[in-house]
Amino acid sequence: MKTTTILKAGILLMILVSCNIKSDKKSDTEKVTSEVSESTDSLIYAEEKHFNNIKQLTFGGDNAEAYWSFDNKLLVFQSNFKEWEVACDQIFYMDPENDNLRNKRPDMVSAGLGRTTCAYFMPGDTTIIYASTHLGGDNCPPEPERVPGGKYVWPIYDTYDIFIADLQGNVLQQLTNEPGYDAEATISPQGDKIVFTSTRSGDLELYIMDIDGSNVVRITDELGYDGGAFFSPDGTRLVFRSSRPKTDEEIAAYKELLSDGLVQPTAMEIYVVNVDGTNLRQVTDLGKANWAPFFHPSGEKIIFSSNHKGARGFEFNLFMINLDGAGLEQISRDPVFDAFPMFSYDGKKIVFSSNRNNKGTRNTNLFVADWIE
């Protein structure tokens, strides 16, 4: 609730973002034409020095939380693209090198029932893990009503559970069976552990379990939403987003929303913690919403999405920061929305979601690029 998502699921900040903002690409001749090139550096903004050979992968709807297979050949992601005949977020997978999704729907892994979120490849790349509400009903659960001037909130559906399915969409195993929300699962690079977010304690906390769903251990225990966690490359640490209410007013507001199955994701910072729950540290202190973190291949930096520089609150870009909170660097430059970054396991590529090249629509598409240090 990648995140999510979470949630990233359909629980995504991307539904906030849409506007037709004039941008300054590398040059006038390089600007994107109405016929989108599927692989062109005209999709790279002038200061995006870490991207090369960018390729647009999807062409409509909200597409997010794209994560690599262990062999770096496939991507699993969630989408609500109506032309793919889905009513809300469902899970798909694709071959980013060879598939052309302009006129072809990718293979759907989820069953098309309920709402799904936060899919991730399991070791061996023949199965995936994801969360779904389908045990609570075939229909998409209702989204929170948006009212002018009202709080922006994410729904935390208590019908979410975590499942393993094969690439043909057959559910092979249900990993969680506790009352309440269980979602936002990701796998360690070593393929032996799963981290996820759950409300089984009464709050949104991180848990780790073995790859078969056994030996569940609670990792966080402070009041607030802890979610969207990923393992470090060596599997010894977790990075995650968190909203930690401090004042009596903030605590009361958080608890009231949570009792209604909601969270307000407008104030979040990035944290790291050891996989045994020790050495919890806050990495960012930027204000506003800092989320969708992922470890740099070195394990010494974190890439994440943030609106802390945005004047209107919904301009999200990718940033990178050292584990000690120093060395903040802006990575992406879309004037509206960049989020959900993930490095390939070999560190050569990065995939992310962006509003770039959507011609003023609400579409959030997937992009893959070579990563340049």
Give 31-65 pLDDT, tens digit per residue. Answer: 333 344 455 678 999 999 999 999 999 999 999 99
pLDDT at 314: 79
| 116 found inside a domain | yes
Provide the pLDDT for residue 40.
66
List, for residues 292-347, the tens digit of each pLDDT value.
999 999 999 999 999 999 887 779 999 999 999 999 999 999 999 999 999 999 99
Beta bridge partners of 305: 291, 318
Range of the domain at 167: 13-18+37-371
pLDDT of amino acid 41: 75
CATH of the domain at 224: 2.120.10.30
Whether residue 21 is predicted with pLDDT greater than 60 in this model: the reply is no
Q: What is the pLDDT of residues 183-228, one digit of tens each?
A: 999 999 999 999 999 999 999 999 999 999 999 999 999 999 999 9
For residues 334 and 20, is the Cβ–Cβ distance under 8 A? no
Rounded Cα distance between 6 and 13, Å, is: 9
Domain total in the chain: 1
| Residues β-bridged to residue 45 | 25
| 27, part of any domain | no
Cα-based angle 307, 309, 312 (whole degrees, multiple of 5): 70
Q: Is the pTM of this model over 0.85?
A: yes
Per DSSP, 178 falls in state: -
- Is 238 domain-assigned? yes
